Amino acid sequence: MTAHRNVLAFVMAGGEGSRLHPLTANRCKPAVPFNGKHRLVDFVLSNLVNSEIWSTYLLVQYKSQSLIEHVRQTWAMARFMPQHFITCVPPQMRNGPEWFQGTADAVYQNIHLIESMKPDLVAVFGADHVYRMDVRQMIDFHVQTGAHASVATVPVPLTQCSQFGIVGIDDSNRITAFIEKPATTDPMPGSRTHALASMGNYIFDTDVLLRQLRRMHENGTSDFGKHILPAMVGSHKLVAYDFDTNHIPGIEPYEEHAYWRDVGTIDAYYDAHFDTLGAAPRFRMSNARWPIYASPDEAESAQIENGVIHRSIVGSGSIVDGATLDHAMLRRSVLVDRDAHLEHCIVMEGSRIGRGAQVRRAIIDQDNDVPPGERIGVDLEQDQRRFPVSENGIVVVPAGYFRAGMRRASAQRGTAIAGKRRLEVVA
């Protein structure tokens, strides 16, 4: 059924990601690195491509250059298939000098793309979740139920309901209420501890979406979760698609069925990384039957000179020389010197961990030279005076922090030497 339908996808890739700071200091949330060689946006794009949805616009906004470059290098589609594309679209300001004011406004500002392509259905998906999903199964559910709009849903603890759009349903999965990030809510049917939350993934009948976008614009509203979906509950058929019913080929018995994580905070982002580690992880990155595609990798293979390595990932081009790695995740071109000790940490591209350094429960962003003997994650009181520390005690070293510090120290030494020489000349 799905194969005979023309589907246009919009991926909401403009997220500022303020709760992921400082990882989002110089990049938008969908461009944040994940695991050995991916970025967060790779999950939704892989799901769409694996689901044979070939026409996708990424609506970008904040600090989008690294995301645009990643999409250009990783997600180029064949030029001889004009309907096969993944294209970044910044705010066009066709209706005035405003940036995207919300998720629905972002689509409205590009309504001409829908009108020109004339799809049967429009998929509106988020760009910063870790999961696998066969979107065709959600589309089939949408068509079979005769819905005007479908919302993908997952159970979340009641204590987390303020972070999500919460959905109320009847016995036939029809949505009876949609409340964006309520302070409190009633549990979902059949549970005392969980509510039903929107994943931020929607399927719309095209004509319904166009009417709702124009009405939203006239009313001065701007968001799907806050405005459009709640307003549609009483006037249209909205259904909740149960993500737990989505089946992906190649999933191993030890994996968590229907794995989905909103990695909007440092702690959630950190924890999701370690869900991918080990011989029997909760989420296996290397599923050949439903791959999560990554950027091309031209670096040499990793080199292990010697050391002790336990349940870790060592990215291409990295060198480990006599160090100890325990639940460590090294991205590309990371050098770990002799006697360094890394425990439950993430180290991003182009960084160096100096001789004898200790790093535990930390995220080292890219292009850092951690000095020999440095201690990070050992004394949190000391760390908090230098770095952001999450609620759960994860230390985050901003990109280039130590290199910038060395440049400042070098400049100060140079100024001091020059001043001394001037005094000697005067004397």
How high is the pLDDT of residue 218?
87
**Contact assessment for residue 302 and residue 319, using Cβ atoms and an 8 Å cutoff:** yes
Give mean pLDDT, residues 79-92.
Answer: 79
DSSP string of 75-98, one letter each residue: ----TT-TT-EEEEE----TTSS-
Weakest-pLDDT range from 108-112, 252-256, 358-362? 108-112
At the topology level, CATH places domain 2-262 in: Spore Coat Polysaccharide Biosynthesis Protein SpsA; Chain A (3.90.550)
Single out the residue of 118, 127, 121 nearest to residue 150, CA to CA: 121
Q: From the CA atom positions of the chain, what is the Rg in Å? A: 24
In contact, 167 and 197? CB cutoff 8 Å = yes
Please say whether the beta carbons of 343 and 361 come within 8 A. yes
> Is the per-residue pLDDT at 1 higher than 60?
no
What's the confidence (pLDDT) of residue 94?
58
Q: Is 159 helix (H, G, I), strand (E, B) or coil?
A: helix
Note whether 52 and 166 are within 8 A (CB): no
| pLDDT at residue 4 in the model | 53
Residue 412 CA neighbour count, 13 Å, CB half: 6
Residue 413 scores a pLDDT above 60 = no
| E strand or H helix that includes residue 307 | strand 303-310
pLDDT tens per residue, range 105-130? 899 989 999 999 999 999 999 999 99
Q: Which amino acid, 229?
A: L
Give the residue-averaged pLDDT of 366-394.
97
Note the pTM of the prediction, 2 decimals.
0.92
Fold of 303-406: UDP N-Acetylglucosamine Acyltransferase; domain 1 (2.160.10)
Report the SS3 class of residue 265.
Answer: coil
pLDDT band at residue 424, thresholds of 50, 70 and 90? very low
Reported confidence tier of residue 427, pLDDT bands at 50, 70, 90:
very low
- What is the model's pLDDT at position 415? 44
Which SS3 state, helix, strand or coil, does residue 201 take?
strand
Q: Is the pLDDT of residue 231 over 50?
A: yes
pLDDT greater at residue 425 or residue 40? 40
C-alpha dihedral, 372 to 368 to 376 to 34, nearest 10°: -140
Q: What whole-number percentage of the chain has pLDDT above 90?
A: 78
What is the H or E stretch that residue 42 is in?
Answer: helix 41-50
Tell me the three state secondary structure of residue 31.
Answer: helix
Name the band, by pLDDT with cuts 50, 70 and 90, for residue 421.
very low
Q: What is the DSSP letter of 6?
A: -
The string of pLDDT tens digits covering residues 328-341 is 999 999 999 999 99
In this predicted structure, the answer to whether residue 411 has a pLDDT above a threshold of 80 is no
**What is residue 187's DSSP assignment?**
P
Residue 423, pLDDT score: 40
Tell whether the model's pLDDT for residue 409 goes beyond 80: no
Domain boundaries of the chain, sorted by first residue: 2-262, 303-406
What mean pLDDT is predicted for residues 227-247? 96
If one compares 101 and 94, the residue with the highest pLDDT of the two is 101
pLDDT band, very low/low/confident/very high, at 67 (cuts 50, 70, 90): very high
Q: What is the pLDDT of residue 405?
A: 60
Give the pLDDT band of residue 309 (cuts 50, 70, 90): very high
Q: Provide, rounded to the nearest whole percent, the portion of the chain with pLDDT above 70.
A: 90
pLDDT in tens, 27-50: 999 999 999 899 999 999 999 999
Q: What is the mean pLDDT of residues 152-178?
A: 95
What pLDDT score was predicted for residue 78? 64
Q: Of 41, 54, 45, which is closest to residue 117 (Cα–Cα)?
A: 54
- Phi, then psi, of 291 in degrees rounded to 5: -70, 150
Mean pLDDT of the chain: 90
pLDDT at residue 80, rounded to an integer: 57
